[in-house]
Each structure stands twice: as C-alpha cells, then as structure tokens.
Chain A
Amino acid sequence: MSTSWDQLEQRMHAVDRFVQGEMSVAEAEAFEQQMSADASLAADVAAQRELAASLATAFSPSPPPNIADLPKPGAGSGPGTGPVLPGMPWLWGGGAALIGVAAAITWFATGSGTGAGSPPADLATAYQHAVAPDEPFVPRTTDETEFAICSKIGHSVLFESDEGATFGRPGGGIGDSTPMAISVPMHLGADRMLLVFDLAHKDEPAERVTTTRISDTLFKHVVVRHGLRVTELSPREKPAMLSRIRVGS
C-alpha cells in the first residue's frame, strides 16, 4: 500500500504531538484507538518514545554556571590594592575581571595607562635574577599581540597567547616574552598563572606546546624559585578553569 507524502507527514506529525503530549484529551483518545488498530503506528510511537528517553538520558544538561562567579564588567573581585587606570573605571577596587591586552600591558608596564612605555625596573630585576642571570634583559614593547587577554582573577593571572611556545621552546632557552609573562603575576601579587595557548595558531605539529617543554623553562625557573603555580590550559579549558578559580575550589 502506498502512502502519499501528505498522509505520511500527517502521520508523523500526529505521532510527534502524541509523544510530546500536545494533543487534547479527545485527540489523544482517538489516537490511542487508532494505534490499537494499527500496529505500525503503535510501533512508531514506541520507537519515538524510546528515542526520546535515550536522548533525554544522554543529554541531561549539566548544572548552569554560577553567573555571580563569572567575570563581568563592574563586578571584579580581588584584593583591592591595584592602581586605577584612568578611563577604565571598572578597575575600581583593583579587582578587574577582564581587561584588554593593551590597557593591561600598558598598565603593568607604566602604571599610568598613558600608552606604551618601558617596563618597570623590577620586571628587569625579575628577569635577571629569576630567569636568566646571564642573558641581557631586552624588554619587549608593551603592545605585544601575543597576549590576547591578560586578566587578574582572584589570586590568579590569566594569559592568553597564540604563541605559547615562546614560553618554553625546547632547547631554545626562554622566549623574550617570558620576562613579561613571569613578571606580571608578580606585580599583581598573584600566586598562580594560567597560560592559555591557542594551539590553532601553530602551523607545525613540532611546535606544539607540551607540559614537558613548559616544565623545562617556566617551572624550573619561575615556579620553583618564586612559588608561582603555573597551569597550562587549552582555550576550551579556560572557562571551566575560570569558574573553578572564582568559586575557590
């Protein structure tokens, strides 16, 4: 027996509404009678119910994020000791949740928010003494594009970098962005640094950042010496980590 497309569509629609409980009582009773006379219709309903149950089990939503804990403008948290950057009043209280790279780096570098400047002396000191005493300190300019985001969250500092490998090239020593990377958390009194590497920017698999490579440099020179915890994250892991930090677990 052939069934026209319209009939098929009506049947699918009816099954759909019945399974979803969208029929009126009278409609549902009529449909049940129809099912008792049509085994294939009953089978369709059973199949849809089974499918819905399977999907509902597998796709039971996770709990929603705690909105109050998310970084948002005007709701930063932190020790409340940082300087205020003119023109960016959401830094009031020193608890900026998210700040842009240029402003952030400028702030760190100059403390005044008036454009690119020289890194403060203790950054150079940090580099010289903590990282590479034998290497000349060559500060990078403050408009580094590799720091896409730099944020202070609680006692952690978040870096996003599309050149994560510069933090720890195997055998290559320490990248010239390292002094900035290690000094900023120290400036802010952070005890943890989160490095977010956007690996999609890496063209060569050989340049993948691995824990080992980071360990070779940052961990050895910075963490051990200064007690700064470093956690490397993929971009995907960042929001979850932010959430965990914010809730203090």
Chain B
Amino acid sequence: MNSQLTAGVIGALLAGAILYLVRRDHMHGSYALWWLAIAAAILILGVFPPVIDWLGSITGISYPPVLPIIVGIGMILIRMLRTDIDRSRQERQLRRLAQKLAILEQELSSVRRDSASEPGATPRIKSAQVIPLSKPSDV
C-alpha cells in the first residue's frame, strides 16, 4: 500500500462524510458552502499529493508538508473566531427575544384583566383562543 493511496482514501472519506452531512441538511447556507470547499480541498490534496510540493515550490517553503498543516490551523482559528462572533450575536438576540416575550406576556395578561373587569367594552379573549406553540424545541 503506498502513501498516495492512504492519503487518497482519507481524503475521499473526509470529503464524503462532509458531503453526506451537507446533503442531509445538517448545515445551512454559508456553513454548507464553507464545508464543501474544505471537502474539495481535502479530496484534491489527498488524491494528488504532488500539488503540495508544487505549492511549496511556489511559496518558497523548503519543507512543503507543513504548508497544509499551517493553512489548516489558520482555517480552524478563523472558523472558531467566526463561531464565537456568531454565538455573541445569537446571545444578544436570545436575550432581547426573552425580554420582548416577557414584556408582551405581561401586557397580554394586563389586557386580559382589564377586559375581564369591564365586560362588553372589548371582546374578551378566551384562553381557548390562544394558539399553543407546537413544540418547545421549535421556538
């Protein structure tokens, strides 16, 4: 078994796994695009390792095998940075959503109390009219 075959098999497996996950709709939008690009890069480098030597000679790196490692680590760092930025954005949205929900809930119950105390003024909201959310996990 030669090294090119090993690299090719690993590359194809990784690319296949990513492709499978993207196709199964586990990632949306830009994430899927990013991972598809990664899968393509892994496949190319795995099947045609000489590409690495060629890239090494272009960039003037005397030991080309470190090139994919360095680029890979760089990519991981960028990805993690993006993830944290996204998480902060989502945290902000989540907090504001919870606040709004709580304010609206308070408003709703005070409107209900008002309309209960003066019948006929406004149509009374019955609790049966409240549409329940289908599943908590959907919110």
Query: Do these two chains really belong together in a complex?
Result: no
